[in-house]
Every structure is written in C-alpha cells, then in structure tokens.
Amino acid sequence: MKQQNIRNFSIIAHIDHGKSTLADRLLEYTHTLPPRELREQTLDTMDLEREKGITIKAHTITLTYKAKNRENYILNLIDTPGHVDFSYEVSRALFACEGTLLVIDAAQGVQAQTIANLYLARKRNLTIIPVINKIDLPLANPERVKTQLQKLGFNSDIILASAREGKGIPEILEAIVEKIPPPRIANNLPLKALIFDSFFDTHRGVVGYIRIFEGVIRKGMKIIIMSSGKEFKVEEVGILKLKRYPTESLESGEVGYFIANVKNIADLRVGDTVTEKDNPTSAPFPGYRQPKPVVFCGIYPAEGETFERLKNALNKLRLNDPSFSFRPENSPVLGPGFHCGFLGLLHREIVQERLEREFDLNLVTTAPNVIYRVLTSDGRLTEVDNPCKFPSNKKIELVEEPCIKANITAHKEHLGAIFELLEKKRGEFLDMKWLDTSRILLTYRVPLGEVATKFYDELKSVTRGYATFDYEHAGYKKAELVKLNVLVNGKILDALSVIVHRQKAYSKARVLAKKLKELIPRHQFAIPIQVAIGSKIIARETIPALRKDVTAPLYGGDVTRKRKLLERQKEGKKRMKKFGNVDIPQEAFMAILETEK
C-alpha cells in the first residue's frame, strides 16, 4: 500500500451522540471484520462501557476502503475515550491523527463535551469533518444544529447521517479520503514513534499502541523509551483489526502495535516517545506528562477478611489502568483499606464499579476529596490529599484550592436554577454564549471540592436532565478553608474529618452532627457528638443512654434505698463512658455525602 493512501483519523463526540454506532457502520461498510464478529458497539469491549454508553478504554482498528477513484486506502481509526477525565489520553490520540470526525446528535445539538473536544482538535490543527448524526429521530432538527455549527466556525460541507440506518456512511468515507491529508513520509530518518495507548496482556506482557512519525520499527530492533531511558528488544509488530495481525515492519505514517517483553505497564506510558537504540532521534514529542490524580478517597472492604482480595484486585486492575494510584491506610473504625487517587469523578466511579463487578467485592468508600496547597507559618508549602493531614489553623498562613473551568449547556428556562446552584457552590461567572435561540453555553470557575460529590446529580435535577456538564482544570486559587474535626465521646475520628469553606462551616457542622446522631446506635451511656474547628466546638448533639429501671425490684422502705441504687447506676455509667467503645456503623462515613443535600 502506498503511504500517500494512508489516512489517520479519530471520532470525537459528546456522550451518547452515536460515536460507537458510527464506528460499527464504518467497520460494516468497509468489510473490515467478518459479519460473525460484528455486534453493537464492537469497539467497546467492557460491559460497563455498553451500560453507560461511553468509551472508557480507547480501541484502535485498521480499515481498508476502495474509494470512488478506484484507489485502495488504509484508514486507521484511532478511537478516543469519551469523557473529560481522560482528556490527556484524548489529546495524545488526536496528536497521532491528521483529521477527525466531529459527531453531533441531530436532536440534542451541540453539547459541553462537543465544544471541549472541538477545541482540543483545533489546538492540534486537525482537519475537522462535522457530521450531524441521528437524522432519523422524530425530534431531529438538522437545520438548528447547522446554525449552532456555523456559530462555531463551520460554514459548509456538513454531512447528514444516520449511523443506525447506515445513511451518509459512503459520504463520510469519501470525505475522510478527500479532506484528511496523508501522513508525512520520513522512512529515511531515525525512528520516532508516539505511544498513544497501552494495555497488559497476561501472556505477552505490555502491548503498546503506536503511531510512527519518522523511520521504521522492525522485529528484532533494539528500542529506547525516551522518558525513562529503558531499553527493550522488539519481539513483534503489526496492525490491529480487533485482533493483532503481525507484520514485518511499521513505516512512517502507519499505526499499529508492538510487543517487546515489557513486564511493567508503567514503562510504556501514554504520550511517551519510542526511538531506536543505535540511531536515536534528537528530541522526544512535546507535551508528555505523567497522569496525576486529582480526586482522592478511601476504599475499604466491607468485611475485614477480604482485605487481601481487595489488595490483589487493585494490583490486577492497575495493570490495565496505571492512571490511578493507591496506598495502604488504616482507619480506627473501618479497619485496613487503601487511600486511592483518580483522574476525576467518573474515573473514581468506574474503578469502584470494576472492583465490585470483576472481583466480586463489597466495598465501603469515604467521601471524595481533592489536593489542597497549604503554606505553613514555617514557610513550607505542602500538598494535602487527606483531611487527616491538614495542619491546625494556628500553623496555616495560606490555603489554595484547585478549581475547574466548567462548561454547562442548558435551555434558557433553567438559567435561574443553574445560577442559584452555582452560587451555592461558590462559582465565579466567566462567560455566556447563545448557541441558538433557546440553548446557552455557560462558563464558570468553580472549586473542584464543591463539585466532587453530588454536583452532577444536582445539576441534572434542577434542569430536569437537560443540562450537560464538562470541565477542565483551571489551576489553584486562595480560599478560606477550615478543617472540621468530629469528636465522638471525646475522641477525634480522623476518617470523618472534612475540609470546608469557612462560610459553610457552621451550617455543615450542624447538619453533620444531627445526621450522626441518627446513625450511631444508642449505648448504655450518653454519647456526645461534637464538631470542632481546632479547639472550638461549633456544633453538638447528644445520644441519650439506654436506661434500665434499677428501682423496679424495690417494694417499699426508705427513699434513701432508691437514691443509693440510682447513684450506683450513675457511677457505673460514668465508668463505662470512660472506658467503653462506641460502635460506629459504616453508614456514618457516608453522612458527609448526605450533608451536601
């Protein structure tokens, strides 16, 4: 195949706009796979992906297509994850392409993630082919969507399609061939390839998905991973058609895989550069970074004896998803568990669901928290990812919290409710754009800690499910934050500590104390529940003691006999309170989430 006849492209879209169905039709139309291997959402291999309608793990596939000009073309579809939590993987996948299909639902129109993905593609200077999908729907309004696209800078050549019915598929394939430029041919230069994805194969080790920009990679070649300097010998290279098909080599412009007996997935990171050991390239690709967790929470087994199973499950899951981190920790109430870091809120939810489904675990998770920067009075700047490590107020000079730039699309009738919700979340208004006569794009700067729990559910609730939400990280800003300590029977419970804004501290403390009073069962002695900022108690509730009528056996006599029994009971309860332990149910640790309501 001539290298001028190679086209590397991806498909970007908002969740549930038909990206996976469109990929199915492209596979079907080009006869890439035999009919028995085709099914709905062929490229989505996880049950979780099918249920949620999103791509979690990107897949790459090579299509062969005979165009109307009678030429044969190789079309490399480099699939991308569909959510903002995986935006780094999306940016690396787009870096490996020359063009992309921008898919928009004909009924829903332009959404928050549509715009986020569009900006990523434009930043990379890709050829963008707009496709209005689902034109067969009864509520489809292609003309309204065309108007929205014109406001985003698209004037003509918008393709109308229905992936479900197969309409517009020939036009899309012809547009890919005609509009997307072929890759630059540079076989005579030293090897320079981009790793845009990797996964762990139990039998072969780590498999790296690569795009060759310069040079050639062959079986038996010695290569270097440029970020770490580690050396490996290539055992196999080839192309991907769901299964791996070995070839002799991969040349510049081609997309495929390589296997080099790599045992640790951390050695083949997304965005890394591969070059030849004996003839290395002069510079790696720009923009490489290690995935950095931004949301943290504790994960504990509901039954203590399953701790080892949870540890093994986390280790196995990390083989295929190196972007989340975990370390052991011990809670005085929940027992041994792990403090885990995630790329975002959806990533946290996916990891938890995979642990529960794939490894049959029953888990308890604590409320999510984020990384705060704290400047202490001795001049040290520390990053705090757990409320337990937050220093006392006397030692703090300055606290900074992470923020996000939130893009929200909604109908104009829900504007008031959205403004009210974002004001509660300490949002800062940045911009407002009209996409058409009824839909608006709002841009806000919001603290990440405020949206880390129930924000998306609340947004869907106040807009009756019509709003869409997308975000990108927007650095840190100064904030007045305090740590709420929860004391049960005079003992501080670190696992229930929470960091909040000073303005919300008193209301949150009252709600938290009241909620814990409902959840903690009564004991033989009175249990005080206190919420404090430092040494100052700002909220208190008391769980009354269970009472036994010790005077019931008395049938008469002097009143002093009765008093003596009551005094003895009082002394016993006092001693019990001093030495007794309070049983705190697991539901109490989710009380922090409930207070968000």
Compute the distance between CA of residue 39 and CA of residue 45 in angstroms, rounded to an integer: 10
**CA 412 distance to own-chain centroid:** 29
Q: How far is Cα 583 from Cα 527, in angstroms, rounded to an integer?
A: 11
What is the domain class of 372-479 according to CATH?
Answer: alpha beta
Confidence of residue 100 (pLDDT cuts 50, 70, 90): very high
The pLDDT score that the predictor gives to residue 404 is 86
Question: 61 pairs with which residues across the strands?
Answer: 77, 241
What does the pLDDT read at residue 281?
Answer: 85
| Nearest C-alpha neighbor of 281 from the set 189, 196, 151 | 189
Query: Which fold does the domain 3-179 belong to in CATH?
Result: Rossmann fold (3.40.50)
Q: What is the pLDDT of residues 432-446, one digit of tens each?
A: 888 877 888 899 999
Q: What is the helix (H) or strand (E) element at residue 102, kind and residue range?
A: strand 99-105
Where in the chain are all domains bearing CATH 3.30.70.240?
372-479
Residue where the block lists tokens 């070059």: 275
- How far is it, in rounded angstroms, from Cα 46 to Cα 35? 20
Structure tokens at 457: 């559910």
Reported as a pLDDT band with limits 50, 70 and 90, residue 44 is: low
55 pLDDT higher than 80: no
Amino acid present at 231: E
Encode pLDDT of 66-87 as tens digits: 888 888 999 998 877 756 666 6
Instruction: List beta partners, residue 433.
Output: 441
Could you read off the pLDDT of 277-336 as tens digits, one per residue? 888 888 888 877 777 777 888 888 877 667 888 888 888 887 767 778 888 888 766 778
What pLDDT sits at residue 499?
Answer: 85
How confident is the model over 551-566, as pLDDT tens digits? 667 766 677 777 777 7
Structure tokens at 15: 């969740």
Percent above pLDDT 90 for the chain: 8
Q: What is the pLDDT of residue 588?
A: 65
For 435, counting Cβ atoms within 10 Å of its Cβ (0-12 exposed, 13-18 middle, 19+ buried), the class is buried
Would the pLDDT of 113 be above 80? no
Q: What are phi and psi of 525, to 5 degrees?
A: -135, 155
Q: Does domain 295-366 correspond to CATH entry 3.30.70.870? A: yes
Domain with CATH 3.30.70.2570 in the chain: 482-595
CA–CA dist 44, 347 (Å, integer): 17
Question: Mean pLDDT across the chain, nearest whole number?
Answer: 81
Class of domain 192-276: mainly beta
Residues forming CATH 3.40.50.300 domain(s) in the chain: 3-179
Classify domain 482-595 at the CATH topology level.
Answer: Alpha-Beta Plaits (3.30.70)
